[in-house]
Amino acid sequence: MNILKEKRMFYRFIFALLTASALLCAPLAAQAEPQLITIPLSRPGEPVKLEIEILSAHIEVIGEDRQDAAFEVSVVKGERKIITPSGTQSLGTGAYSLDIEEEDNTIDVDSDWRAEKVHIVARVPRRADLTLKTTNNGVILVNNIEGQLWLENTNGPITATHISGSVIADSVNQDINVEFDSVDGSEAMSFSSINGDLTIGWPANAGAELHIDSAEGEIYSDFEVTVKPSKPVITRENNRGGVEVRVDSVIVADVNGGGQVVRLKTLNGDIQINKSGG
């Protein structure tokens, strides 16, 4: 076992023990006292990758001028109980484990917690690529990050502000709000929510080719746009039952003369494209 792997296991083991013991001893509260941990980076001063994938979580990531990564972790009060001959007794939030692993400037965070929402605030260097995923009524918040962002929140909202780079964001039932200071023109972007609104703050001088797929909602833009003729895209996929044919038709419109492709898709929500201050 090399030294780097030993360090990674050390962070996982100690953090799991501290959080579990603290929560078991804590009195009932809406949210347990946050546990604090700092993770050194293998290459301080260089960009980092942060990956957080937890079933039910409030995930907040803040970019700062720093050489390490810091995490505040707590759990919203649960309703776990034990039934004994003398009656029912609350177990509070119960025990859980959270793994935080760092290797070669990549930080992975995951948890075995299922009952209630894990609350994570991560403070990382501003230059960071993020992959953040949660499912059950979670929240994703990102602020002041320069890099590539992949954000997925099935049943909760996504908000990202002061972003420089590119974003792919997907929700099913909630709103997506993203505000850019600047954009990476080499990367395609996508924003999708079936039942939520999409609000995108786009730099005033940046170009884009918007691919808009909207069924029921309204579309608003601070920019003048040039609508371009487009043809339906037909895809065929062979499966065991035969051939599946899919026809996709979108509105194509240029902003500031066109540029990178930005996909905006919603079924029941509105789409708002604002001019950001970047």
Q: Calculate the average pLDDT of the chain.
A: 83
Task: Tell me which amino acid residue 247 is.
Answer: V
Place of tokens 């994938």: 53
**249: its two tokens:** 């038709």
**pLDDT at position 56, please?**
87
In the chain, which stretches have pLDDT less than 70? 1-32, 76-81, 84, 89-96, 113-116, 231-235, 246-248, 278
**pLDDT at position 242, please?**
73
**pLDDT at position 114, please?**
59
**pLDDT at position 27, please?**
43
**What would the pLDDT profile of 168-215 be if each residue is shown by its tens digit?**
999 988 999 999 999 998 888 999 999 999 999 999 999 999 999 988
Cα–Cα dist 88/103, whole Å: 45
Select from 275, 221, 205 the least CA-distant residue to 253.
Answer: 221
**pLDDT at position 2, please?**
42
**pLDDT at position 6, please?**
42
